Structure 1
Amino acid sequence: MVPRVINGEFVYPEWISDNNSIKVEDGANQLAVNVGQIVFEDGKRRKFDSQPLLLEFDAPKDAELTLTYNKFRTIEEANAFEMDPKLTLKDANGKDVEFSMVQLRKGGLQGFRDYEREVADYNKAMNKESTKASIAASPAVTKTLKESFHDLSREEQQEFMQWAMRNLK
């Protein structure tokens, strides 16, 4: 399981601790994850990656939560999971933590996905404030850049992203 976005922010690898945990804020949280696993298809091994799953839950203060799913071995089991994903969120005492979950589906080629954008688009469509809250919590320069990027049209955003990818250091 790979965390992609937490509360509107991209999850950098260094945010994930050695024991595969990630810090969440007290109170309302939004977490996008992918489930990736090696499965068997026609006797061969292949990598399965689920569509992103967006979870919303309330975390008690200093809670240690565990997100799990039932492992699968075959592509048929993986496809069944994709059609009806089932995850479990528990606290340190093994008690279920209530959450809501949606699957972020995207058609077409999916070689490079902008998970942050997909979550922001979902939040915008659902009139949620997570994107604006994450912009407000950013340092001043990043905040200005994020606000400017957010104001661009989809085509302008794509053009900017292509420029940014060509000019990475």
Structure 2
Amino acid sequence: MKTDKARNAYQQTEALSNIHPVKLIQLMYERLLVHLELAEKAMLKEDAKGRGENLGRAIALLTELYASIRDDDESEAAGFLQGLYTSILTELPKAAISNDVEVVRTANRYITQLKEIWAETAMVEAGLETTGDCESREVESHKQCPPEVQAVKEKMAAGRGYGGRQYGQAALANLSVSI
């Protein structure tokens, strides 16, 4: 029994070590969205345990995403991500206490847009599978990117330090986020 658990843990670690760093960030965004959606459902059901577990996991994933930004990256994109992640990390614990569903919905909306931007830039550059963009995917009642995210997306499309060749192979090697 313990041998099986150890083998499974080893196999999971082995599988994760073979994932491309850019894809790993995409997977983290996807899992983060799952936990935000589950937290929202738990909040609506007034399920304190489900709310706490899923917000805790969302906070852990956000912390990992924040930590993946290179310390030496002084770009506007890195600053934007640090600020956004910090804001969400500040608000989610408050939402856990106050049961404020709107905070979770707002976080979900921003992370959805970041995931789509990541797919359009870093995933494409790395030659990995991508998904749609923020204009083509409806996020509940929000059909457009938030203005701040749209501005980053436009700069990415223009190639001003937000993807394209600026992303760089060093970022891939260090599992850092610099979109």
Fold conserved between structures, TM > 0.5 = no
Higher relative contact order (CA 8 A, sep 6+): 2
Which structure has the highest helix share of the two?
2
TM-score by length of 2: 0.22
